[in-house]
Structure 1
């Protein structure tokens, strides 16, 4: 009988431990993947600058006349301004703001973020987690873009370039005093430059970000297609 009671007691303890561990795992996942009640609770921003010619050479870009029409010559554009944790990031947070971004607000960004579809998606997935209202968030997007100086030898887009990820990152560091190797990552789409991701503090100063840096492109050479 004592053995039975001991076995039952052990089972109860095991179940309690398993339940607690599962709850902790759920909480950890919510903190890393986003939760409706975490708007405004994040550590830093990533401003992601997309190389538009790479996007426009893709199937999706071919259908996007607003960004990739024959009269368009975009180079670096803002993909998004993303709130981040030191590990993971929040997304699709609950907000008192509407899901839809009014066109009169979005069109003010068309010079750096040339698509209402992109603007709306970025608000819903990322902007909603900043704790900011829509107007303040998109004002912060512009300020973040303007804080980063684009290297002239990369941003021209007049002809195709082929460089190592390190060389591309170094060009941005040279143009932006205070930006370190640990605070920037070049990402690629196949062998083409996809994005430059730069980490910024909440007051938009350059800062290091180990997780983002580790996710940079590791191939030897990246091509920057020309603006067509």
Structure 2
């Protein structure tokens, strides 16, 4: 039995006081709230900007662009994931979208993530975004990856170990580094609906297999 209800309770509790997944095939039109766990995807922004070139979102790649940014919080099945679920609720308001720009790079990405993934969470926009902010806040970015003022040559294993070192309870089976042409593109971290770190074999199997990778600097976008 899937456990999205616990995630709904947590998101509502948080809310009241105040880049496509690419893992395995999506199941468009899944049932909102029917999933097994979440993937928190953190994108290395300079890789996106370099690989997309003129097609990149200028908001994300302008002066002052960041290093790791939140790509999204994705409901997942043990194999595969739901996508673009049909809901009867309203789309996010401009204020709700703007509330995410502290951790996500552009309004266009925020809206895309809601349409593709948020609609499958079983949550309304305000609660989903509150849960996404809580998931993002749960993960500490290693000091070496908090800026992107120079190229960093490393390995996928070293990136994982750096995250594990500063995030208690995170284990190798719960995190996967993604790469694109030898450049680190994302770090994906698996969480329960209550945002506890959890293993995810399918995500781990699709991790970067390069022996050496680079986190490019902002200056080379």
TM (normalized to structure 1)? 0.81
Q: Which segments of structure 1 move beyond 3 Å, counting only runs of 4 or more?
A: 60-63
Q: Does 1:137 align with 2:152?
A: no
Contact 2:174/2:198 (8 A) holds in 1: yes
User: Distance in 2 between the 1:214 and 1:173 partners?
Assistant: 18
Contact 1:101/1:119 (8 A) holds in 2: no
Q: CA deviation at 1:35?
A: 5.1
The Cα offsets for residues 174-221 of structure 1, whole Å up to 9 and x where unpaired, read as 111111100100000111000000000101010100000111000011
Q: CA deviation at 1:60?
A: 5.0
The residue that corresponds to 1:49 in the other structure is: 42
Q: Does 1:78 align with 2:35?
A: no
The residue that corresponds to 2:82 in the other structure is: 90
C-alpha spacing 1:33/1:54, structure 2 compared with 1 (3 Å): closer
Superposition pairs of residues 87-166 of structure 1, within 5 angstroms: 87-98=79-90, 100-166=91-157
The residue that corresponds to 1:214 in the other structure is: 205
Unaligned runs of 5+ in 2: 1-24
The residue that corresponds to 1:38 in the other structure is: 31
Contact 1:187/1:216 (8 A) holds in 2: yes
Tell which has more relative contact order, 1 or 2 (C-alpha 8 A, sep 6+): 2
User: Distance in 1 between the 2:103 and 2:45 partners?
Assistant: 10
C-alpha spacing 1:60/1:96, structure 2 compared with 1 (3 Å): farther
User: Distance in 2 between the 1:226 and 1:35 partners?
Assistant: 36
Unaligned runs of 5+ in 1: 1-31
User: Distance in 2 between the 1:80 and 1:138 partners?
Assistant: 10
User: Distance in 2 between the 1:195 and 1:168 partners?
Assistant: 11
Count of aligned pairs between the two proteins: 195
Q: CA deviation at 1:59?
A: 2.8
RMSD of aligned C-alpha atoms? 1.5
